[in-house]
């Protein structure tokens, strides 16, 4: 039997045609028609999802998109940036790239995303301790579950702090009628191999006016000034997506909606089938508004006192049956590399990390795979 992977990419079959076209027209360099085409495909898709004013800049990765957002906000040494603690390190690392200090804020139990009350507490306390407000807030839609954006946006506006929305895992998730990634001042997507769609590595920055999109392109292409020769007045980056990667992305846009639909089907099957397993519950997010997560990964929580098994034992059992599973992200405030960073915690992410496990959720997972996973757990 073939291994059941956590989140395997699946091609539409149309990717190769876009790549071939790039070869045939000699556009094998960075930039070219596929990059423009991919940006415009995402733009039309976001319009269809409910955001008509998104400006999309295709970049080398989701991480570089977060980095550029911080650069564009002119954040640097001596500044603090608030970041959701319960996330992948890529949300927080760019804060250090610009020389700023991350301040971690814990999650609320409903969505596992940044706790609005604790966020405000942190803002007030940083101001008291440093005399300055944090320069940005990075909120994450973890596992594709929308954060409580109405409250977070209200707090960010009230304190006039720019909001960066890390939607790396949340392409296709809808919050209060709006697509995730388009709600904050800046949003980012990731097209890494295990995300909703892949370009074999890539990302995008979402902004809300042409000036911002132009600025992102400027910084992403070595900050080259408009002169006939190479003139530089700012430090730039080599962060633009290549025309080949964008070709894969264009092919992937054909199956994005069906992949989102399949992940939702997977989630619903898990919810149904875990109902009669004592001590193990599927995480069913509760937000502060209507929302439709993309269910990038379905997560379960294991109460070992009832289930009679721990997270690690269960994971080992699945591995022995050729099923990939993975613990939830280890919170940033627990990471040795961020030991010195200020953190505002409430126990939510630590408990989820201790008990949680991500199950195979990708578009290639079948109904039969899920039956096999459930039977393995029940054994
Ligand atoms: C994957 C991911 C990123 C980084 O995206 P890359 O394209 O891999 O650089 C950032 N934040 C979160 C929450 C992610 O899951």
Residue 379 has pLDDT above 90, yes or no: no
With H, G, I as helix, E, B as strand and everything else as coil, classify residue 167.
coil
**Using CA atoms, how far apart are residues 84 and 102, in angstroms rounded to an integer?**
10
Cα of 168 vs centre of ligand 1, distance in Å, is 5
Reported as a single tens digit per residue, the pLDDT across 195-206 is 999 999 999 999
Residues 6+ apart with CB under 8 A from 319: 325
Task: For residue 192, give the ligand 1 atom closest to its CA.
Answer: 7
Per-residue pLDDT band for 32 (boundaries 50, 70, 90) equals: confident
Q: Is residue 39 within a helix (H) or strand (E), and if so which, with residue range?
A: helix 33-49
Q: Is the CB of residue 166 less than 8 Å from the CB of residue 188?
A: yes
Q: Are strands 291-292 and 203-207 parallel, antiparallel or unpaired?
A: unpaired
Q: 195 with 169: CB under 8 angstroms?
A: yes
Render pLDDT for 321-343 as a digit per residue (tens, 0 to 9): 999 999 999 999 999 999 999 99
For atom 2 of ligand 1, the residue with the nearest CA is: 168
Q: Which atom of ligand 1 is nearest to the CA of 64?
A: 9
Residue 90 CA to ligand 1 center (angstroms) comes to 5
Q: With contact defined as beta carbons under 8 Å apart, do 294 and 142 qualify?
A: no
pLDDT of 31 over the 80 cut: no
| Distance from the alpha carbon of residue 220 to the mean position of ligand 1, in angstroms | 18
Q: Which of 115, 114, 134 is nearest to 124 (CA)?
A: 134
pLDDT at position 1, please?
A: 77
Half-sphere exposure of 139 (CA within 13 A, CB side): 34
CA distance 58 to 311: 38
Bridge partners (DSSP) listed for residue 242: 30
Query: Which residues are 104's β-sheet partners?
Result: 83, 343
How remote is the CA of residue 110 from the centroid of ligand 1, in Å?
22
* pLDDT higher than threshold 70 for residue 30: no
Closest ligand 1 atom, CA of 65?
A: 9
Best residue among 166, 220, 326 to mutate for probing ligand 1's pocket (most ligand atoms within 8 Å of CB) is 166
Ligand 1 binding site (Cβ under 6 Å of any ligand atom):
61-63, 87-88, 90-91, 140, 166, 168-169, 190, 192, 195, 203
Q: For residue 149, how far is its CA from the centre of ligand 1 (angstroms)?
A: 19
pLDDT at 24 > cutoff 90: no
Q: What's the CA-to-centroid distance between 68 and ligand 1, angstroms?
A: 14
pLDDT band with cut points at 50, 70 and 90 for residue 28? low
Order of all β-strands in the sheet with 174-175:
178-179, 174-175, 291-292
pLDDT at 146 over 90: yes
- Cα separation, 253 vs 38, in Å, equals 8
Closest CA to 169 of 44, 9, 294, 299: 294
**What's the CA-to-centroid distance between 213 and ligand 1, angstroms?**
20
- 263-306 confidence digits (pLDDT tens): 999 999 999 999 989 999 999 999 999 999 999 999 999 999 99
91 closest CA partner among 200, 144, 201, 168: 168
Q: Which fold would CATH assign to domain 15-255?
A: 3.40.640
Domain ranges of the chain: 15-255, 257-378
pLDDT at 255: 96
Q: pLDDT > 70: what percent of the chain?
A: 99
**DSSP states of 236-285 as a string?**
--B-BPBHHHHHHHHHHHTTHHHHHHHHHHHHHHHHHHHTTSTTEEE---
Is there a contact between 105 and 133 (Cβ–Cβ < 8 Å)? no
According to the CATH classification, is domain 257-378 in 3.90.1150.10? Answer: yes
**Nearest-CA residue for atom 6 of ligand 1:** 62
């Amino acid at each position: 039997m073939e291994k059941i992977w956590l989140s395997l990419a699946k091609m539409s079959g149309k990717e190769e045609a876009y790549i071939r076209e790039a070869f045939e027209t000699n556009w094998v360099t960075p930039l070219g028609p596929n990059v423009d085409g991919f940006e415009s495909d995402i733009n039309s898709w976001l319009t269809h999802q409910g955001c008509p004013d998104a400006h999309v800049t295709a970049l080398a990765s989701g991480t570089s998109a977060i980095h550029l957002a911080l650069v564009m906000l002119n954040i640097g040494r001596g500044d603090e940036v608030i970041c959701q603690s319960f996330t992948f390190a890529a949300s927080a690392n760019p804060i250090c790239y610009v020389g700023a200090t991350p301040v971690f804020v814990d999650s609320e139990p409903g969505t596992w995303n940044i706790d609005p009350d604790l966020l405000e507490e942190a803002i007030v306390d940083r101001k008291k301790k440093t005399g300055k407000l944090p320069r940005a807030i990075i909120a994450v839609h973890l596992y594709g579950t929308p954060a409580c954006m109405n409250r977070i946006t209200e707090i960010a506006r009230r304190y006039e702090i720019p909001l960066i929305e890390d939607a790396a895992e949340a392409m296709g998730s809808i919050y209060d009628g709006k697509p995730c990634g388009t709600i904050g001042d800046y949003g980012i997507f990731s097209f890494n191999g295990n995300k909703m769609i892949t370009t074999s590595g890539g990302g995008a920055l979402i902004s809300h006016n042409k000036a911002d999109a132009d600025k992102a392109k400027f910084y992403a292409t070595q900050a080259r000034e408009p002169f006939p020769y190479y003139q530089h007045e700012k430090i730039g980056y080599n962060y633009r997506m290549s025309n080949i990667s964008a070709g894969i992305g264009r092919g992937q846009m054909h199956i994005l909606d069906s992949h989102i639909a399949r992940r939702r089907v997977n989630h619903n099957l898990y919810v149904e089938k875990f109902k009669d397993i004592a001590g193990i519950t599927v995480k069913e997010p509760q937000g502060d508004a209507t929302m439709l997560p993309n269910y990038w990964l379905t997560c379960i929580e294991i109460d070992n006192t009832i289930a009679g098994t721990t997270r690690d034992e269960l994971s080992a059992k699945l591995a022995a049956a050729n099923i990939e599973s993975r613990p939830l992200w280890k919170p940033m405030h627990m990471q040795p590399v961020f030991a010195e960073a200020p953190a505002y915690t409430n126990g939510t992410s630590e408990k989820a990390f201790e008990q949680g496990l991500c199950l195979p959720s990708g578009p290639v997972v079948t109904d039969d795979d899920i039956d096999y996973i459930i039977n393995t757990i029940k054994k």
